[in-house]
Structure 1
Amino acid sequence: MSTNNHVAAVESRSQAPFYRPVTDEVEVFRAAARRGLPVLLKGPTGCGKTRFVEAMAHDLGRDLITVAGHEDMTSADLVGRFLLKGGETVWVDGPLTRAVRTGAICYLDEIVEARQDTTVVIHPLADHRRELPVDRLATTLPAAPGFQLVISYNPGYQSVLKNIKESTRQRFVAIELDFPPPEAEAEIVAHEAGVDADTARALVAVGNAIRNIDGSPLREASSTRMLILAGGLAAEGLGLRRAVQAAVVEALSDDRDVVRALGELVDAVLPGT
């Protein structure tokens, strides 16, 4: 597997990513960054964890290297490996090693999806040592100034087989993120989707109605990301009810009875659309 799989390019943004703070998460992150402390972000899918990291990297003036966790990820995918190039064997740094060398922020998204024996490689970087052993090069790399490790996961998916080890968790400063309060979420949806305030508030009302279903059969709630997608469809001229059906209702479940029930709930929240 190539080290480039599931890895986003180094971020280089001239304009700050839009992020609407909800509580004191920005202040906590900045304090951790000043100390070089690793940060654990936890929260539901689509609540803004990745956007938060992008905004903090821009705010701190640091490059951001993002890696999406997956069950086939190995330590070599993070650290690097020898590859054949032009008949020669050359070493190619993985994304974690690049971040360590350059002083970038390395964001391991949904780290719980990776095997636990893979995540152990981050332990020396997440404590007082701030170093990365590269066994295949028989060397240990000290983290460059500015390097920071950030990981995230969705507690709703954790299980006996998929959870963060305590030996990993206790090395991190934890920041819990959730869906924003209605007014803040409407501001986010309006900005990101390019819709007016009334449309954004209507979408947020739908999202909260679905999130508050008693005994919900859904694995995931209607996320802020989904509401932005629905808003984007509406901004392109699609009717609001149809936009919600496509971006939220149909995306949340394949069960026809569940989809029908969600549609009825949306009809009740969006009368006359």
Structure 2
Amino acid sequence: MAIESGFAHKNGAGGRLEGRRPYYTPVGNEDTVFKAAYRQGLSIVLKGPTGCGKTRFVEAVAHDLDRPLITVACHDDLTTADLVGRYLLKGDETVWVDGPLTRAVREGAICYLDEVVEARQDTTVVLHPLADHRRQLPIERLGVTLDAAPGFGLVVSYNPGYQSVLKDLKDSTRQRMVAIEFGFPAPEVEVGIVAHEAGVDERTAAELVRFGQAIRRLETGGLREVASTRVLIAAARLIAEGLPVAVAAQVAVAGPLTDDIAVARGLNELIEVYLGETAAND
């Protein structure tokens, strides 16, 4: 029986984020706290709404630290074997294939588990010995316990807006991690981000940000999420392609946020008020 390791890396075979630093503008002290925790071997949980920059932040910090970054998009079918590894048939042999978590432990990479609460709790329990002072990963199928290589870091994220009794981090997991809170940037910072990422002028970016802030102030049960920086950037990119502002705002912001007809009508009215145009199909 042979033992092999393998992993399809999201960012390519090497795993390092080469080239220019991913664009990220600090909102608070998140950069300082993350790097201090990383140097001390502490695990980190990033909490914040969808599309506020958590993933981009991790990419930027991994670049600063010159560490490979292995990202896992968590979901409710994610198993312990998906993270740790499994035996697979390869030709006439049965070989061991490392999962992304094991690969990160062996290589001293940063392992980022995005939306970790989407994974089953019996799966995330495997993180406990890695997240505390032991920094170890037991692999029962191999009968071994791996010590994390120098440089290994464990980072998880989730959106508190989706918390529920069934989907939340166990207290025993939470208390093994340093928590960094994320929110949407201040308006002047967000304008700069939208303008940079979409290649539009600051006036257009500012109009979109004011529109996004108006949605964030709404009090309605018809919105599962508010307008994120991500959707504002998407709208700006469509504007950069020549789409009318109202159309871009409707398809990139209002459309993805709700299926409720009344709420959609209200969002279209906001487009007219804040962007000065009437949305199509109003």
Q: In which range does the TM-score fall when normalised by the shorter chain?
A: over 0.9
Residue 20, structure 1, aligned to residue 25, structure 2: yes
Deviation at 1:11?
4.2
Code of the residue aligned with 1:259 in structure 2: it is A
Code of the residue aligned with 1:88 in structure 2: it is E
Q: Secondary structure at the match of 2:141?
A: helix
TM-superposition CA deviations, 1:69-114 (whole Å, max 9, x none): 1000110000000000012100000000000000000000000000
Of residues 74, 78, 81, the one that matches 1:69 is 74
Q: Which runs of 5+ in 1 are unaligned?
A: none
Code of the residue aligned with 1:227 in structure 2: it is L
Residue 162, structure 1, aligned to residue 162, structure 2: no
Give the share of equivalent positions with the same residue, in percent: 64
Matched-pair contact (CA < 8 Å) for 2:271–2:277: no
Q: Which runs of 5+ in 2 are unaligned?
A: 1-5
Root-mean-square deviation (Å): 1.3
Matched-pair contact (CA < 8 Å) for 2:246–2:277: no
Distance (Å, rounded) in 1 between the aligned partners of 2:16 and 2:23? 15
Task: Identify the residue that residue 102 of structure 1 maps to in structure 2.
Answer: 107
Corresponding pairs, count = 270
Residue 88, structure 1, aligned to residue 93, structure 2: yes
Task: Identify the residue that residue 248 of structure 1 maps to in structure 2.
Answer: 253
Code of the residue aligned with 1:250 in structure 2: it is G
Of residues 173, 177, 195, the one that matches 1:172 is 177
Q: Secondary structure at the match of 2:87?
A: strand
Residue 8, structure 1, aligned to residue 10, structure 2: yes
Task: Identify the residue that residue 128 of structure 1 maps to in structure 2.
Answer: 133
Task: Identify the residue that residue 272 of structure 2 maps to in structure 1.
Answer: 267
Q: Secondary structure at the match of 1:76?
A: helix
Q: Secondary structure at the match of 2:252?
A: helix
Deviation at 1:133?
0.2
